[in-house]
């Protein structure tokens, strides 16, 4: 019997992790802000899969809420085998906007919370000598498109560092780097997606299935789908100034 803790487990990629893991019989701890949605999701998964589902209503932008989750991650009696740091959102604000609070909020949720929760999980799991940490990053971290790219570049780099630190302890660590996935993400961030070609879109269930396979195989970076794997390999081998120029064109087409 295995238990996963999923931040942002009520929608999109997090909900797909919840469904997939529930279907294979894993117990779940779901974390998000919307208590009604958490409760609906928990009831549905418990009824359909006869698993245990705990919920934690928390805002990951609030440090005390994050510290509360570390207590659940550190429990020896009810161990978490797979923490999935997934909660996140898009940020459209420009880097030079006078109000930097949207950037700071994004850093709190997608950097500070990931740092604190991964550290707590890593400490406990190292003692047990087992477990898998998954941090949801993005292919946006391979380009330079504002604060969101910078945050996701941090998540990928941080996760690689964590994998090194935990190497040989029995704890596996994976950064999931998806491309465009159909979820509530774009609507919530007011991102116009009309110009994104159909072939660029990924299905959340397939992203999750591929990620879980990669994590089980000990892959540190998971880039779901052949097409994105090829695109990211090309991106890595292009001269960096060319990547910056492409990023500049893409950014200006969005504003
Ligand atoms: N969709 C894409 O194209 C794409 C591509 C690459 C990477 N990603 C990454 O995938 C992850 C999941 O995104 P998604 O596309 O599945 O988005 P989504 O459908 O909008 O789901 C976001 C989830 O995060 C939760 N959440 C947001 N802010 C939170 C906060 N402050 N505290 C606690 N929970 C919070 C939301 O629940 P509440 O609102 O109830 O809190 C929701 O469950 C993110 O890290 C995103 O950056 C997405």
Ligand 1 atom 15: residue of nearest CA: 185
* Buried/exposed 168-185: b ≥16 CB within 10 Å, e otherwise: ebebbbbbbbbbbbebeb
Helix (H, G, I), strand (E, B) or coil at 255: coil
Reported pTM: 0.97
Note whether 33 and 55 are within 8 A (CB): no
List the structure tokens of 138.
């993005």
60: Cβ below 6 Å to ligand 1?
yes
**Residue reference for tokens 């934690």:** 56
Displacement of CA 124 from its chain's centroid (Å): 20
Task: Give pLDDT tens digits for 62-93.
Answer: 999 999 999 999 999 999 999 999 999 999 89
Burial of residue 98 (CB within 10 Å: 0-12, 13-18, 19+) is exposed
Q: What is the pLDDT of residue 253?
A: 66
- Tell me which residues of the chain have a pLDDT lower than 70: 253-255
* Beta-carbon contacts of residue 167 (< 8 Å; ≥ 6 apart): none
141: Cβ below 6 Å to ligand 1?
no
Displacement of CA 49 from its chain's centroid (Å): 24
Report the C-alpha gap between 53 and 20 in whole angstroms: 14
Minimum-distance ligand 1 atom for the alpha carbon of 140: 6
Q: Which of 31, 113, 14 is nearest to 72 (CA)?
A: 31
Q: What is the pLDDT of residue 193?
A: 86
Ligand 1 atom 7: residue of nearest CA: 138
11: Cβ below 6 Å to ligand 1?
yes
- Asked if 158 is an active-site residue, the reply is no
32: Cβ below 6 Å to ligand 1?
yes
List the structure tokens of 9.
């487990």
Q: Strand 53-57 and strand 27-32: pairing?
A: parallel
């Amino acid at each position: 019997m295995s238990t996963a803790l999923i931040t942002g487990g009520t929608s999109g990629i997090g909900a797909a992790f919840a469904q997939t893991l529930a279907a294979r019989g894993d117990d779940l701890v779901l974390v998000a802000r919307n208590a009604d949605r958490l409760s609906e999701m928990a009831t549905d998964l418990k009824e359909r899969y006869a698993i245990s589902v705990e919920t934690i209503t928390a805002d990951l932008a609030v440090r005390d809420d994050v510290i509360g989750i570390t207590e659940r991650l550190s429990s020896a009696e009810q161990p978490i085998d797979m923490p999935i740091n997934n909660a996140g959102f898009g940020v459209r604000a420009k880097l030079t906007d006078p109000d930097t609070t949207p950037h700071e909020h994004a850093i709190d949720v997608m950097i500070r919370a990931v740092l604190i929760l991964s550290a707590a999980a890593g400490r406990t799991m190292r003692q047990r000598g087992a477990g898998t940490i998954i941090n949801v990053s993005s292919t946006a971290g391979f380009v330079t498109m504002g604060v969101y790219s910078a945050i996701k570049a941090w998540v990928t780099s941080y996760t690689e560092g964590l994998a090194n630190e935990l190497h040989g302890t029995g704890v596996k660590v994976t950064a999931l780097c998806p491309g465009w996935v159909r979820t509530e993400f774009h609507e919530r961030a007011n991102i116009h997606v009309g110009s994104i070609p159909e072939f660029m879109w990924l299905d959340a269930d397939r992203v999750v299935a591929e990620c879980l396979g990669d994590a089980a195989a000990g892959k540190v970076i998971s880039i779901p789908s052949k097409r994105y794997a090829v695109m990211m390999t090309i991106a890595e081998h292009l001269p960096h100034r060319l990547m910056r120029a492409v990023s500049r064109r893409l950014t200006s087409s969005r504003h």
